[in-house]
Each structure stands twice: as C-alpha cells, then as structure tokens.
Structure 1
Amino acid sequence: MVNEFKQFIMKGNVVDLAVAVIIGGAFGKIVTSLVNDILMPVIGFLLGRINFTNLKIVITEATDGVPEAAIRYGAFIQSIVDFLIISLAIFFMLKVLIRFRTKKEEEPPTPEVVPPEPSKQEILLTEIRDILKFR
C-alpha cells in the first residue's frame, strides 16, 4: 500500500498539479498587489480621487462595541478587476502553451498513386482505337 501511494504521488499529473497550485497562489498575490496598489489608485484618481476600498453602503452605523454593517461594493469592484486580470493572463498563457504543444506537424508526403496495370483486354482495345484513329 505504501508503494502504491508512492507511485501515485510521483506520477507527473500530481506533481504538476502541486507546482501549478503553488505558482498560482504566488501569481494571485502579485495580481492582487498590482490591482490594489497600482491600478485601482490610478483608476480612482482618474474618476475624481475615489478610493475604492472606502466605497460602501452602510446598513447600520457602528455603536458601542458593535461594528457597522455595510455592503462594501468597492472591495467587490477590486475583486472583479483582480479576476479579470488573472483571467486575461491565464488566457494568454494558455494560448502560448497551446501553440507550443500543437506545433503543426508536417503531414507525411502522400505516396503517388500509381494506376494499376491495364488488363490485356484494355491494351487490345486501346490498340484497336489507335488504329481506327489513323484511318
């Protein structure tokens, strides 16, 4: 049973998946930082100095020890931008990978089709036809 588990773990698919999850997590952090720290401040500035993290609809104000209840739609907008950038990056990465994987394989040259040898009857009929042409 231990050997079976070891074989399962060492299969290429499991190792590839583990590497993809680790790289994906790191990539997600990079994109989140890009969106939160670079893109959203620029977009907020262009839209009239809006800070998206502060955009919210307050349902109930904070009172003695009870935090406010609010719908934080600014954070939601940032998450959408995060998602769109990650999706776009993955789309382009997959397009590149697909191009490398599916190199156009040159089709093997098709052998020339050689017509079969004519039968004796066909040869005789051809000779007769040729004789009649010259008369």
Structure 2
Amino acid sequence: MLGEFREFIARGNVIDLAVGVIIGGAFATITGSLTEDLIMPVVGWIFGGVDFSSMFILLGNVPDGVAATDYAALKKAGVAMIGYGAFITAVINFLILAWIIFLLVRTVNNVVRKAPDAPAGPTEVDLLAEIRDELRKK
C-alpha cells in the first residue's frame, strides 16, 4: 500500500496539481488585495464614499461596550448579522479572479494553437520504398 501511495505521489499530474494549488492560493491573495485595496475603494468613491466592507444588517442584540456600527467588533463579539458588504466584495473578488484565469487560459490556448507543428517527415512506406530502391541499384 505504501508503494502504491509513493507511485501515486510520484505521478507528474499530482505534483502539477499541488503546484497549481499553491500558486492558486498565492494568486487568490493577490486578487484579494487588488479587490479590497484598489477596486473597492474606487467603487466606494463612485457611490459617494461608501465603505462596502462595513455594510451589514444587524439581526441580534448589540452587547455592551461594542459600537453598533463597528462591523469587525460586532463580528468578533459573535453578534448575528448579515454582512452583505463583505459578500459584495467576495463576489467582485471572484469575478476578477475568474476573468484573469479566463484570459490566462485563452492566451495559453492561442499559443498552443499557433505553435508551429513539427515538419512532417517521410512516412514508413516512403522510407521502405527508398531503401528498396537503393538496394535495387546495388
């Protein structure tokens, strides 16, 4: 069983998958920063200075000592609420990530399609006929 596992891990596609997951995690961090630090502030500015990350609907009671407008503190305190601003940010983050992956796959497909094919050499029949003709000459 250990040998089978070692063989499974040693396959190229498993290692490629692991590398893809690691790079994907790092890429998700980059797109998260792009969304939260660059795009959402611009979107908020367009909508009159709205900070989407702190938009929520309060469902439960606010404990003493916690501001009713502080999303992070309310979340930390475990207050029931719907954080639709964080959801909007996550959807925009997903759309950006999906768009970038689409462009990447599209580019790779175009490069693969445009790659020059290896020049077609003679077929086996042609080679055998050539050998036969050379042998007949001798």
Q: Does TM, scored on the shorter chain, surpass 0.5?
A: yes
1:55 touches 1:73 (CA, 8 Å); kept in 2?
Answer: yes
The 5-angstrom pairing of residues 66-85 of structure 1 reads: 67-85=78-96
Q: C-alpha distance in 2, partners of 1:11/1:20? A: 15
Within the candidate set 82, 100, 120, 1:89 is matched to: 100
CA RMSD of the aligned region, Å? Answer: 2.2
Distance 1:11 1:36, change over 3 A: same
1:53 touches 1:75 (CA, 8 Å); kept in 2?
Answer: yes
Unpaired segments of 5 or more residues in structure 1?
Answer: 109-135
- The Cα offsets for residues 71-112 of structure 1, whole Å up to 9 and x where unpaired, read as 110000000000000000000011111122333766x7xxxx
State the TM-score, normalizing by the size of structure 1: 0.70
Q: List structure 1 segments (4+ residues) > 6 angstroms apart after TM superposition.
A: none
Structure with the larger RCO, 1 or 2 (CA within 8 Å, 6+ apart)? 2
Aligned length: 108
Residue type of the alignment partner of 1:69: A
Percentage of pairs with the same residue: 42
Unpaired segments of 5 or more residues in structure 2?
Answer: 66-76, 121-138
Counterpart in 1 of 2:15?
15
- Of Structure 1 and Structure 2, the greater helix share is in 2
Q: C-alpha distance in 2, partners of 1:103/1:3? A: 41
